[in-house]
Chains A and B, each alone.
Chain A
């Protein structure tokens, strides 16, 4: 019984690992192929099935005029938009979350929980519902196809995540530490900056990671709200996909695009055991 359980456990883990790794391995091998080894039948193992070459990777650094795919500018655009929007969302979200965790609000029937729910419920909003008004709204103030316009939209996507994680985190930071700071003569802002924030760094990191993930992987808004002036990475790659880009350079650019966030997986795993997420969804 026990042996069977352990066998099944490892079997399942191995199967899932293969499933997780398969598309990455496929893309990695494909990125070294040439025309013959892609179109002349399926090949797997470099040097045995086909002769690897670096053509797919070379086009990444070539200029578009010479047949390169030019993902460098979209890369930096994506990073800039994601980081700026995440930063603004974290700052505003943390302040609001602190207020919701420490003070009581009451306006008619609206209480703290309702305000928190209002923040989080913005995730329910299907992007398509917002896309049409955003499209017309941004075009009326000339922010369509600009980085600023995208940052504004991404704040709506990311702030709910920041509030969601930080409210719960502040609830776990004991109230006594702010009270002690207040008795020692800090005003509420000093107490927040000097005492509460330094004690909330794990929460801030988790919230930050989540904002970066959900900002970086968004395709839909970038796709609808930008055209030619500004391109974000996912939109660029999809554009490559629908043009005649060969598989090898497509695979190489896709791999380069998904690589940076894999570091985030390590950071999230580190903070996982501290239980920062579990309370948030109860």
Chain B
């Protein structure tokens, strides 16, 4: 095929993306070396001061980061298990197959923050239906104002919202599997459980890794749900990294410091996602 045409196909997209992104990324790095805040807006140079403050004097950032890790890992594990179970159930013929498939996809089509507005009324401590039904058992958990329970409320909402995405990827994977291994297993008379462990699951391993990584990437961005549901509270008990950076940068206008946090956060995300991808590949593909 002709040589130079290929550039006409590739370059418009590539250059638009680079064009939009190159400035922000360089700017974040430069901004992180400045003391830009609301009293002193400007790109002065203060060296690594922001980074030193971040690593030695800001436990709140690291707390929010560990909280984020806890929230995203827990939600992704739950989503994977539930999503796989649901996909496996509607994969073969059951009654109303297409109805259930569509229904299970619906939550991911709804805007997270708007649904969170509804969830807030749903979990309302005195006027919401959850506590009304639980009052039969004489308990009334403080879904949004107890530091421990609030975390689980966030997890419930995230699982509701994004399990469909996991379900979609895994169901698409199941539907594209070759038929021969299943025929072989059927001829050997394998039980459903053994068929799942020795045939379905290994065949799904590459797709599982892809789906888990994609969801981890998206889950690590949790911010808008938290903002609407609890505003990071009570106290800082549901504050995630993004949300903390948001408060520092765009509420307190400590732009320089927020930039150093977001750059550090980006590097940590890239490193940890690479490690997770490597580990998952090793564990799931070896067997």
Contact = CB atoms under 8 A, between A and B. Distances in A.
Contacts of B106: 20, 262, 265
B89 A224 contact: no
B115 A23 contact: yes
Contacts of B241: 126, 128
B115 A159 contact: no
Interface string A110-130: 000001000100111111111
A282 interface: yes
Contacts of A16: 82, 86, 104
Chain A contact residues, majority secondary structure? helix
Given A132-B250, A268-B105, A95 B24 contact: no
Q: Quick one: which of A19, A23, A131, A262 has the most chain B CB within 10 A?
A: A23
B110 interface: yes
Given A23-B119, A281-B211, A272 B114 contact: no
Contacts of A124: 217, 269-270, 273
Given A95-B12, A156-B20, A129 B109 contact: no
Given A156-B17, A159-B16, A251-B121, A219 B112 contact: yes
Nearest to A209: B109
Interface in B247-287: 249-250, 255, 258-259, 262-263, 265-266, 269-270, 273
A167 B193 CA distance: 36
A42 interface: yes
B23 interface: yes
Nearest to B167: A16
Given A126-B220, A258-B114, A282 B210 contact: yes
A211 B97 CA distance: 26
B85 interface: yes
A155 interface: yes
Given A42-B132, A265-B105, A238 B113 contact: yes
Contacts of A152: 20
Interface residues of A, number: 95
A281 B108 contact: no
Contacts of B12: 92, 95-96
A133 B1 contact: no
Interface in B1-43: 1-2, 5-10, 12-14, 16-17, 20-21, 23-25, 27-28, 31
Interface in A86-107: 92-93, 95-96, 98-100, 102-103, 105
Interface stretch (B54-62, B143-151, B172-180): B172-180
B101 to A, nearest CB: 5
A133 B17 contact: no
Contacts of A9: 89, 94
B109 A278 contact: no
Given A20-B103, A278-B207, A126 B111 contact: no
Interface in B77-134: 82, 85-86, 89-90, 94, 98, 100-115, 117-122, 127-129, 132
Contacts of B168: 268, 272, 277
Interface in B182-231: 191-192, 206-207, 210-211, 214, 217-218, 220-221, 223-224, 228
B152 interface: no
B15 to A, nearest CB: 9
A251 B12 CA distance: 43
A223 B122 CA distance: 24
B169 interface: yes
Interface in A158-206: 159, 163, 182, 187-189, 192
Nearest to B212: A281
Q: Quick one: which of B13, B103, B113, B255 has the most chain A CB within 10 A?
A: B13
Contacts of B206: 282
Nearest to A16: B86
A265 B255 CA distance: 40
Given A124-B273, A282-B207, 7 more contacts: A99-B6, A103-B1, A163-B13, A213-B109, A234-B114, A238-B228, A240-B117
Interface of A: 1-2, 5, 9, 12-13, 16-17, 19-23, 26-27, 30, 38-39, 41-42, 44, 92-93, 95-96, 98-100, 102-103, 105, 115, 119, 122-137, 152-153, 155-156, 159, 163, 182, 187-189, 192, 213, 216-217, 219-220, 223-224, 233-234, 237-238, 240-241, 247, 250-251, 254, 257-258, 261-262, 264-266, 268-269, 272-273, 275-279, 281-282
12 contacts: A103-B5, A103-B10, A123-B218, A129-B24, A130-B28, A132-B31, A132-B262, A237-B113, A241-B228, A254-B118, A261-B110, A281-B210
8 residue pairs, one from A and one from B, having the closest CB atoms: A281-B210, A96-B13, A99-B9, A133-B24, A103-B6, A99-B10, A42-B132, A92-B13
